[in-house]
Amino acid sequence: MRHNKGFNHLGRTSAHRNAMLSNMASSLILHKRITTTTAKAKALRSYIEPLITKSKDDTTHSRRVVFSYLKNKYAVSELFREVSPKIIDRPGGYTRILKTGNRLGDNAEMCIIELVDYNENMLEDTAKKTRSTRRRRGSGKAKADEQAKAEAKAKVEGAIADDVETTTDIDEVKSEETIDVEDMQSETQEEAKAEAEKEEKKKAEVKAEGKKEEEERKPEEGRSEDADEEKDS
């Protein structure tokens, strides 16, 4: 009779079942993956995951409790040194069951049970996956129309941008030309002023020289007249 049967006895006595699960748990910790039947794997998962959670608290008491279940000091040291640092941030679900088909002899359902954080291929796949959004699929024509509209908009925007750039370039060229013309005009005006000033200075110098010559001539003329008067006398 199976009154209040809460777990699978696996056709074994309690001592035999506990010894088998302890041995399987030690093998899983040491090798990170084992092949067994699906019924044993499910029983092992409920047996080993509380021990892995216990290994997050690395104390002497935790090691003694885990050792009382595993009975293998090498498995205990591997669990606390290598496994627990990897699963420290995982809140449960440390093992994975992968079904591999039925066994040839008795047609038992077989599987692989492994530690999740030691399957590198699946970790890479989960890292590559991105979150996808569900959208209603429209007809191909609608998508083509949308693409054509987007391309037309892009062309129009590009043409407008080109026109704006050309107009800005033309305005810049015009402004530069006007600035150059103004500079040329100012330079010509300054040159004309400088030439006029030079001519005025020359005229003033000529006038000054003429005045000096006249002043020098006057005393000589007076002397010549006095000499003539003395000769006549």
Instruction: Grade residue 206 by pLDDT with cuts at 50, 70 and 90.
Output: confident
Give the residue with greater pLDDT, 215 vs 98: 98
Give the residue with greater pLDDT, 105 vs 219: 105
Place of tokens 């890479």: 124
What dihedral do alpha carbons 138, 140, 144, 145 form, nearest 10°? -60
Query: What domains does the chain contain, in order, with CATH numbers?
Result: 14-120 (3.90.1030.10)
Closest CA to 40 of 52, 53, 23, 54: 23
pLDDT, one tens digit per residue, over 102-156 is: 999 999 999 999 999 888 777 676 666 656 666 665 556 667 778 888 888 887 7
pLDDT of residue 171 exceeding 90: no
Alpha helix positions (H), 34-139: 38-54, 60-70, 73-78, 84-86, 120-128
In 92-140, the DSSP E strands lie at: 95-102, 109-115
Please, what is the average pLDDT of the chain? Answer: 83
Instruction: Give yes or no for a contact between 110 and 101, defined as CB atoms under 8 angstroms apart.
Output: yes
Query: What's the pLDDT at 190?
Result: 80
Query: What's the pLDDT at 25?
Result: 96
Q: What is the mean pLDDT of residues 70-91?
A: 94
Contacts 24+ apart (CB under 8 A), 14-20: 17/43
Query: What's the pLDDT at 119?
Result: 83
66-92 in b/e form (b: 16+ CB < 10 A) is bbebbebeebbebbbeebbeebeeeee
